[in-house]
């Protein structure tokens, strides 16, 4: 059982914003629907010193496919409301974890992410209160609404009986609040540079039973005939998530075809301070606190990626449609899986009657 408590589980939280965007806002009464299917795989990870190690057999390599969605709508020309679900729902995944497969289980990372609901308010720009054609500046306050996660009591039982095991959650599944900041410096009609930041704080703690299978495993001891709970409780404080991105963007129409080509090269960095555990009712033995010190998530995580992308915007279609592809390539990290991501982004534009 002790080995089960301390097995290495790669981080499966969403890395970076799937729907990271520039400082533009939607025109009044014009909407945009995003569809973002993603295939991701992690053949290795970065340790506490930032060194990359390939996963050997049974050490935690991951493959997964998920679907993300977003809906944006222009309230007025410089305020856009948005609902974003990223990475949305993980519909298929496969983890190579020898310890959880010991009973014949198939291990996965399936589940749903939390919803982000907010708005983008453009302060400076061509149609903003501060009018300028040289730069755009916008802020995007918002909240993360938690959706249901896994029952890890059931998942731990599955690992002993040979049934399918979901080893962790796709998201934190606690309330979060924060803001996004967007800044575009416009060089000419074809080229601009975007700087983006997202900071989300998590003021609500999560019961350790709802975090992951190894965290729940710290609360039980294995006895003949089942799992016996330890007389202790613990909460997890996620703290905050911090994301920065810098992206040069080039765009040009392809003659008179009604198609616009856009290409970008974002450099994306994400940081989390690591989980903080608080333990109570441990009978004075502190055994649970000692176990939790061995969990990898207690350390801060870093992830640096480049995300080259290209898209084609078909402006003459009945519903103007932007179709693009992004490849997320890990460059460096600490305490993080080196997760590669291939994302197809489809943006459908629509206008309500009366839109300009």
CB 102 within 8 A of CB 164: no
Q: Is residue 99 part of a domain?
A: yes
pLDDT tens, 226-264? Answer: 554 555 677 889 999 999 999 999 999 999 999 999 999
| 48 closest CA partner among 327, 301, 251 | 301
Q: Label residue 282 by pLDDT band (50, 70, 90).
A: low
223 band by pLDDT with thresholds 50, 70 and 90:
very low
Distance CA 152, CA 141 (A): 33
Q: What is the pLDDT of residues 121-153, one digit of tens each?
A: 999 999 999 999 999 999 999 999 999 999 888
Can you tell me the distance from the alpha carbon of 95 to that of 97, in angstroms, rounded to the nearest whole number?
6
Q: What is the structure's pLDDT at 278?
A: 77
**Are 64 and 109 a contacting pair, CB within 8 Å?**
yes
In 3D space, the residue among 280, 278, 285 whose CA is nearest the CA of residue 232 turns out to be 280
Residue 225 lies in a domain: yes
The model's pLDDT over 19-57, given as tens digits with 9 standing for 90+, comes to: 668 999 999 999 999 999 999 999 999 998 999 999 988
219 touches 227 (CB < 8 A): no
Report DSSP state, residue 149: -
* CATH number, position 40: 2.40.160.40
Tally the domains of the chain: 1
Indicate whether 272 belongs to any domain. Answer: yes
> Is there a domain that residue 66 lies in?
yes
- pLDDT at residue 168, as a whole number: 87
Q: What angle do CA 109, 115, 121 make, to 5 degrees?
A: 140
Q: Please tell me the pTM assigned to this model.
A: 0.90
Tokens of 82: 């948005």
Q: How far apart are CA 270 and CA 197, in angstroms?
A: 10
Owning domain of residue 58: 2-351
- CA 101/CA 105 separation, integer angstroms: 5
- Phi-psi group of 185: left, alpha or beta (phi > 0 → left; psi -120 to 50 → alpha; rest → beta): beta
For residue 332, being part of any structural domain is answered with: yes
Establish if 322 belongs to a structural domain.
yes
Q: Is residue 356 part of a domain?
A: no
Domain for residue 309, yes or no?
Answer: yes
> Among 228, 208, 233, 214, which Cα is nearest to 166's?
214
């Amino acid at each position: 059982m002790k080995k089960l408590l301390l097995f290495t589980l790669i981080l499966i939280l969403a890395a970076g914003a799937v729907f990271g965007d520039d400082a533009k806002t939607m025109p009044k009464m014009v909407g945009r629907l995003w569809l973002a299917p993603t295939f991701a795989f992690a053949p290795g990870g970065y340790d506490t010193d930032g060194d990359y190690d390939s996963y050997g057999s049974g050490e935690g390599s991951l493959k997964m496919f998920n679907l993300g969605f977003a809906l944006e709508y222009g309230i007025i020309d410089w305020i856009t409301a948005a609902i974003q679900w990223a990475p949305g729902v993980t519909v298929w995944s496969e983890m190579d974890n020898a310890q959880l497969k010991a009973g014949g289980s198939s291990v996965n990372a399936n589940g749903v992410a939390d919803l982000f609901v907010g708005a983008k308010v453009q302060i400076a720009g061509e149609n903003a209160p501060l009018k300028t054609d040289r730069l755009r500046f916008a802020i995007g306050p918002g909240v993360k609404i938690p959706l249901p996660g896994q029952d890890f009591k059931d998942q731990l039982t599955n690992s002993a009986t040979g049934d399918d095991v979901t080893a962790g959650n796709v998201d934190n599944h606690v309330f979060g609040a924060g803001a996004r900041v967007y800044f575009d410096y416009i060089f000419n009609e074809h080229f601009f540079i975007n700087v983006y930041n997202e900071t989300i704080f998590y003021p609500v703690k999560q019961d350790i039973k709802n975090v992951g299978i190894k965290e729940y495993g710290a609360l039980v001891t294995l006895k003949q005939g089942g799992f016996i709970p330890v007389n202790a409780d613990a909460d997890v404080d996620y703290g905050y998530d911090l994301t920065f991105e810098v992206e040069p963007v080039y765009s040009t129409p392809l003659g008179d075809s009604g198609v616009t080509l856009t290409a970008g090269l974002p450099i994306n960095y994400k940081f989390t301070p690591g989980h903080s555990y608080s333990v109570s009712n441990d009978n004075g033995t502190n055994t649970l606190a000692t176990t939790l010190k061995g969990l990898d998530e207690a350390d801060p995580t870093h992830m640096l990626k480049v995300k080259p992308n290209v898209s084609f915007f078909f402006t003459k279609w009945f519903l103007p449609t932007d179709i693009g592809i992004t490849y997320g390539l890990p460059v460096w990290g600490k305490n993080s899986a080196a997760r590669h991501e291939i994302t197809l982004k489809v943006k459908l534009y629509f206008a309500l009657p009366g839109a300009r």
